[in-house]
């Protein structure tokens, strides 16, 4: 088997068409290229919306890349690399950085095989359902309702909006306005860790009339004890996972019986290799899986999973929408469904400069 002979990284700052808040006007990608001893090149990336991009790149350049050189050019090296950087933390910067190499190695493996990632993994679906998702807590009500109407007009059967205003009655007004537009379509809500247990329980009781499909991240994602308490105080399904970084921590939440929808972010958990293991665990426990963000990547994995799997599509936030890909990924979200996929590899190679 060929070995790794070089790992290159490049930091990209990508302006958002629709800012995710007054202080989040751009996201960050560390493009990662791996080179093997047979002359092959694989393209991957690490991603962090607003915090830590330079730290991720430093973890790659100073620690992961040197440790990867000379190892087999294959995703099977993931456990050894994770053990190498584990002293700096089991997850977070370490796993986000490791994802860049893992994705590049999967891209390289698919390129060797002459197929796209869904076919390499074993495609089971031509399409998976997508839901419209917005980072929209800062939107005035009229703008929020207009966004939801766009999603309905685009054929989405479910949408997700942010909650967590200082006054939960304002959240309720916004939710009722959204429900009026949606009719009987699905409505997910996301608090982005803004509440404590009492505020969460009170708000969810107040929101009962709008019948949310799930409440996402109602509490700090690493506070397992608080999730146990909230489970006793609400019947609303609980979704979490975008800020859970390891298989072990996902298992903790599943063992505690406090999560109904598992939402691993492919990059934050360390790449495709650990994502597939987490998906297996969720399936074993009978819990729904709904990958977090990155639809051009998450959809490819969803096509290879046995179950029906939601794909999250944030308005005008895909890499293709933002104009930073060398070529289209091949993943298409249309009429409320994700379909397609790359003809070769991962299909996510980033341009050199800033988009015009």
pLDDT for 237 equals: 98
Name the stretches of the chain with pLDDT < 50: 355-356
What's the pTM?
0.96
Residues 241, 258: Cα–Cα separation, whole Å: 12
Structure tokens of 118? 């869904």
- Is the separation of the CB atoms in 149 and 181 below 8 Å? yes
pLDDT for 356 equals: 41
pLDDT for 355 equals: 45
How many residues does the structure list for the chain?
356
Catalytically active residues are: 162, 292
Q: How far apart are the first and last CA of the chain?
A: 41
pLDDT for 354 equals: 54
Does the CA dihedral 229-230-234-235 come out positive or negative?
Answer: negative
Domain(s) labelled CATH 3.30.390.10 in the chain stretch across 4-113
* Superfamily of 4-113 according to CATH: Enolase-like, N-terminal domain (3.30.390.10)
Residue 86 DSSP one-character state: G
What CATH number has the domain spanning 119-340? 3.20.20.120
Domain(s) labelled CATH 3.20.20.120 in the chain stretch across 119-340
Cβ-based neighbours of 308, under 8 Å, separated by 6 or more: 128, 129
Cβ-based neighbours of 280, under 8 Å, separated by 6 or more: none
pLDDT for 22 equals: 84
pLDDT for 340 equals: 98
């Amino acid at each position: 088997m060929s070995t790794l002979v070089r790992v290159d990284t490049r930091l990209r700052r990508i302006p958002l068409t629709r800012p995710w808040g007054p202080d989040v006007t751009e996201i960050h990608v560390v493009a990662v290229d791996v080179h093997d001893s047979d002359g092959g090149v694989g393209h991957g990336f690490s991603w962090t919306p607003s915090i830590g991009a330079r730290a991720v790149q430093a973890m790659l350049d100073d620690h992961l890349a040197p440790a990867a050189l000379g190892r087999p050019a294959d995703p099977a090296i993931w456990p050894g690399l994770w053990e190498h950087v584990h002293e700096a933390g089991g997850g977070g910067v370490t796993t986000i950085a490791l994802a860049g190499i893992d994705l590049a190695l999967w891209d390289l493996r698919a390129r060797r095989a002459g197929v796209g990632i869904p076919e390499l993994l074993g495609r089971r679906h031509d399409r998976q359902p997508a839901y419209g998702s917005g980072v929209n807590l800062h939107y005035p009500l009229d703008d929020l309702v207009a966004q939801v109407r766009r999603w309905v007009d685009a054929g989405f059967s479910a949408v997700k909006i942010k909650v967590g205003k200082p006054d939960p009655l304002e959240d309720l007004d916004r939710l009722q306005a959204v429900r009026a537009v949606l009719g009987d379509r699905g409505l997910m809500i996301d608090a982005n860790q803004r509440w404590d247990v009492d505020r969460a329980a009170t708000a969810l009781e107040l929101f009962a009339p709008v019948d949310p499909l799930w409440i996402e991240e109602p509490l700090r994602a690493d506070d397992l004890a608080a999730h146990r308490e909230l489970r006793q105080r609400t019947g609303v399904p609980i979704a979490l996972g975008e800020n859970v970084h390891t298989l072990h921590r996902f298992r903790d939440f599943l063992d505690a019986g406090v999560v109904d929808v598992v939402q691993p972010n492919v990059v934050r958990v360390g790449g495709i290799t650990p994502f597939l293991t987490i998906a297996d665990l969720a399936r074993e426990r009978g819990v729904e899986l709904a990958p977090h963000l990155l639809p051009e990547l998450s959809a490819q994995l969803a096509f290879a999973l046995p179950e029906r799997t939601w794909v999250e599509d944030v308005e005008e936030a895909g890499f293709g929408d933002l104009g930073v890909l060398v070529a289209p990924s091949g993943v298409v979200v249309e009429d409320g469904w994700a379909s397609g996929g790359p003809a070769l590899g991962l299909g996510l190679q980033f341009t050199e400069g800033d988009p015009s």
